[in-house]
Amino acid sequence: MPEYYTPALAYIAAALLVPFVPKGFLRGLYLLLVPVAGVLIFWGLTPGTYNAFNLMGMQIGLMRVDALSQIFGLAFSLAAMLAALYAWHLRDTVQQVATLLYAGSAIGAVFAADLITLFVFWEGTAIASVFLIWARRTEGSFAAGMRYLVIQIGSGVILIAGIVLYYREMGTISFTAMELGSPATWTILAAIGIKCAFPFLHNWMHDAYPSATVTGTVILSIFTTKLAVYALLRGFPGTELLIYIGVAMALFPIAFALLENDLRRVLTYSLNSQLGFMVVGAGIGTPLAINGAAAHAVASIFYQGLLFMAVGAILFRTGTARATALGGLYRTMPLTMIFCLVGAASISALPFTSGFVSKSLILSAAGYDKMFYVWLALLAASTGAILHTGLRLPYLAFFGSDGSLRPKEAPGGMLLAMALTAALCILIGVFPGALYALLPNDVKYEPYTFSHTIVQLQLVAFVALAFAWAVGRGLLPKAERSTILDFDWTYRRLLPSIIRGLRRLAGAVWDRASRNINSRLDNLVAAVFQLHGPQGPIARTWPTGAMVMMVALLLGMTLVLTYL
């Protein structure tokens, strides 16, 4: 393999050539083949570090191949191919170039064997992905993109600071498991936590993702947060703090997802909750839990992507993703509805779907380690996922109140991408052994035990009955035209209010100080005028004799000084 080569370079080189490929069929085919070329670079290689070299005394490794990097690299590559198919109709060169650079940076980061390479591609994902938001070309998307870019670049700045501290402390930049307990590792964890949307660090996702283009939101949902999950599995497996962070992540978005009107924002809250399961798996750190986090990340890439694809198709055809404007779309978009229901079943962990065989690994890991309250919290989060995304979202979009919109079915490329993604969700659920064989740890696990299958079926059935009863009684929270703020209230409302208050206070203090200074200056001028003015004592005429005496005195002093 040539020196300095990595799968990321295939994407970067392809991105540079995109403007020279004719738009239409040839460019669409070109974008589909790039991920294939990327997979051919790493697939089949024996575990090890490739393309390593020394840079100013630091050992750089562009390509570390092992089970963990391979499964994420394969999932990212397959998702990039499905995203290219979904965007087949697109003729926007900016989005196509940004997508390749974004996917390539994420895959490059996955194969990074050292922290410097990780940082370079980490920042690459931030810079490339923001163009998928700006490509919507609205005032709101520009503002959201700027906020997103500041936060993502900030994550990179924090990461490089942590790397510098880590190199100074450990004398190495190797990207391996780290012990949380020093300023370096805390700083690195904070940088990863921003990308992983930890509580209080998560608002960039709910702000930016719904502001992106139709295809951009699908692509954004694939890479950034899953790359952060990979970084946690690689860098901080078994860190107990992650268990509690993950539980909080899994639970807090539920209420917001139930109240939100914008269906793309519903899905971002849902994605945030699913990330919590993966973070818990990383925190537990046992081989089964690591397998569960990796498997759930892969499953989430596809079922969450499928849901974003379905809502994106609705937005593409109707011009809106607000639930208050939708309803009754099953009549004219039946295929999109079917694919959406497959994604809804997967996120609900219905048996024979991908969510069932991946989420059960994490729940079982918590149960085997006797973490009853963690297991119970994750079960509650699973119930919330069934309610807000498995049932409420498709109900509001395709059924519910019969809206007046009667759009056409989604374009062929979108439908084919959704069909293939839905098929993956089902195939992984029916044949989990294929996914389990790719997982990093050799742990035997059977998801379809009688007890687990029955418990999950009962959970789904109970929530579905409760949902139907709430709908029939009119107790379901109504979707309303509104913007729901959670922690971003601090910088959207609270911080501007504080700044306005401080500005008013500073203005009042300045006015008072100015009046005080002006008053004192006026008094000083008046005193000087009184002393030196035409009627002042200094201006009076001195007697001639006194003046002669003063001149003589000065002359005498001059002579004395001259003599001395």
Q: What tokens were used for 469? A: 């009863």
CA-CA-CA-CA torsion sign (469, 472, 475, 481): positive
Q: Over 80: is that where the pLDDT of 551 sits?
A: no
- Residues with Cβ within 8 Å of 283's Cβ and at least 6 positions away in sequence, in order, are 238, 239, 240, 241, 242, 243, 244, 245, 246, 289
Rounded to two decimals, the pTM is 0.86
464 token code pair = 């579905």
Burial degree of 118 (CB within 10 A; 0-12, 13-18, 19+): buried
SS3 call for 60 = strand
Phi, psi (deg, nearest 5) at residue 114: -135, 165
453 Cβ contact list (under 8 Å, min separation 6) = 351
Looking at residue 171, the DSSP 8-state letter turns out to be: S
For the chain, percent of residues with pLDDT exceeding 90: 64
Site of tokens 């890479």? 223
Tokens of 423: 């098929």
pLDDT tens column, 410-451: 999 999 999 999 999 999 999 999 999 999 999 889 999 988
Q: Which helix (H) or strand (E) holds 310?
A: helix 287-318
Sign of CA dihedral 491, 494, 498, 501: positive
DSSP state letters, 11-59:
HHHHHHHGGGSPTTHHHHHHHHHHHHHHHHHHTTPPSEEEEEEEETTEE
Cβ atoms of 208 and 148 within 8 Å: the answer is yes
**Which DSSP symbol is given to 438?**
T
Question: Distance (Å, rounded) from C-alpha 102 to C-alpha 66?
Answer: 22
Per-residue b or e along 298-317, where b marks 16 or more CB atoms closer than 10 Å to that residue's CB: bbbbbbbbbbbbbbbbbbbb
Tens-place pLDDT, residues 218-235: 999 999 999 999 999 999
**What is the rounded distance in angstroms from the CA atom of residue 116 to the CA atom of residue 168?**
14
Averaged pLDDT of the chain: 89
Residues in the chain: 564
Place of tokens 């009107």: 261
pLDDT digits (tens, 9 = 90+) for 15-62: 999 999 999 899 999 999 999 999 999 988 889 888 888 888 788 888
Alpha carbon distance 64, 287 (integer Å): 20
Q: In this structure, what are the phi and psi dihedrals at residue 138, rounded to the nearest 5 degrees?
A: -125, 160
DSSP code, position 409:
P
Per residue in 482-531, pLDDT (tens digit) is: 566 666 666 667 777 888 888 888 888 988 888 888 888 878 777 766 76
